[in-house]
């Protein structure tokens, strides 16, 4: 599948988690279209290998979304960009905690990107693209225990929570930007079912099951990156939208508008998440 990105020369894109999978494919495609790309990654050695393949258009910057000090340091030293693509993520891990004590999936997938976006907001000129997932349908945010401190930990529910939070954040950011008359666009995207390294870290028999699924049912990482690229570059994209594959129940196919759970349109719930996220990361929103 080929997506026409247009000429991206003169533009800069920051892509979190660009050391493998969807992020690496996103960075490669944007660089091929002429953009300069910043690979914002925890594993800088793996990122350097990707940057070397891309060439002079790519550079690596250290960013650990599971450590708010790393997020602040990154935002302090990066001048700016046209695109911020919140791509990095972890999935279905055993219970672990970030450097700041957050449940690892919620802390990395949502809170790390929430903090990064707020800190970078006045440095991004065009679009913020936040990666959610069809698995957001599993999410049921418990505002009394967002970090799984008082409940029996359920890894897939925690992943669904983080992906629902990603979608709600992207939509609430869009609303706030529009209300402040900003031209910055905020959208969400999801890859459908794509074969990446994301699925191989459950440290359980599910790693084997998902490896089989990746080999027989999933689309390639390059195809899985198409919705992200569409969300980042297409003139048809509208702020607050959610974009993903349009065939086979949103699992594969050309990118376009995607269905999602109605709770993502509940402004009261989005505001509650936003306020809780501000308190957890200790950053006040500029919008």
Residue 92 domain-assigned (yes or no): yes
Q: What is the pLDDT along the chain (287 residues), one digit of tens a residue?
A: 678 899 999 999 999 999 999 999 999 999 999 999 999 999 999 999 999 999 999 999 999 999 999 999 999 999 999 999 999 999 999 999 999 999 999 999 999 999 999 999 999 999 999 999 999 999 999 999 999 999 999 999 999 999 999 999 999 999 999 999 999 999 999 999 876 665 344 545 455 444 444 444 467 889 999 999 999 999 999 999 999 999 866 677 899 999 999 999 999 999 999 999 999 999 999 99
Residue 151 domain-assigned (yes or no): yes
Residue 287 domain-assigned (yes or no): no
pTM for this one?
A: 0.91
Which pLDDT belongs to residue 25? 97
Q: How many domains does the chain have?
A: 1
Residue 149 domain-assigned (yes or no): yes
Q: Report the CATH number that the domain containing residue 271 is assigned in CATH.
A: 3.40.50.720
Residue 204 domain-assigned (yes or no): yes
Which range of residues forms the domain containing residue 22?
12-280
Indicate which residue of 153, 159, 243, 260 is catalytic. Answer: 159
Judge whether 159 counts as a catalytic residue: yes
DSSP track, the chain: --------TT-EEEEETTTSHHHHHHHHHHHHTT-EEEEEES-HHHHHHHHHHH-TTEEEEE--TT-HHHHHHHHHH---EEEEEE-----SPPS-B-TTS-BHHIIIIIIIHHHHHHHHGGGEEEEEEEE--GGGGG----TT-TT-SSS---HHHHHHHHHHHHHHHHHHHHHHHHHTT---EEEEE---SB--GGGG-SSSTHHHHHHHHHHHTPBPHHHHTHHHHHHHH-TT--TT-EEEEEEGGGTEEEEEE----GGGG-HHHHHHHHHHHHHHHT-----
pLDDT digits 0-9 by tens, 62-78:
999 999 999 999 999 99
């Amino acid at each position: 599948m080929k997506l026409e990105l247009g000429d991206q020369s003169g533009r800069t894109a920051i892509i979190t988690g660009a050391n493998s999978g969807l992020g690496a494919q996103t960075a490669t495609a944007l660089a091929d279209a002429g953009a300069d790309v910043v690979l914002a990654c925890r594993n800088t050695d793996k990122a350097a290998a990707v940057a070397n393949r891309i060439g002079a258009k790519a550079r690596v910057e250290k960013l650990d979304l599971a450590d708010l000090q790393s997020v602040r340091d990154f935002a302090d030293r990066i001048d700016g960009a046209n695109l911020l693509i919140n791509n990095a993520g972890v999935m279905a891990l055993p219970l672990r905690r970030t450097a700041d004590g957050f449940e690892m999936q919620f802390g990395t997938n949502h809170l790390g990107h929430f903090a990064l976006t707020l800190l970078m907001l006045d440095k991004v000129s065009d679009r913020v693209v936040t990666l959610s997932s069809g698995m957001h349908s599993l999410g049921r945010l418990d505002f009394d225990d967002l970090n799984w401190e008082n409940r029996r930990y359920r890894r897939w529910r925690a992943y669904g929570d983080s992906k629902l939070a990603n979608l709600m954040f992207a939509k609430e950011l869009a609303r706030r930007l529009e209300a402040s008359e900003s031209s910055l666009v905020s959208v969400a995207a999801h890859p459908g079912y794509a074969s990446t390294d994301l699925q191989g870290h459950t440290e359980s028999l599910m790693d084997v099951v998902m490896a089989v699924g990746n080999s027989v049912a999933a689309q390639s990482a390059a195809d899985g990156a198409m919705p992200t690229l569409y969300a980042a570059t297409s003139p048809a994209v509208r702020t607050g939208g959610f974009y993903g594959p349009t065939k086979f129940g949103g699992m594969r196919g050309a990118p376009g508008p995607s269905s999602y759970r109605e709770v993502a349109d509940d402004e009261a719930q989005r505001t509650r998440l936003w306020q809780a996220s501000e308190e957890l990361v200790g950053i006040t929103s500029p919008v």
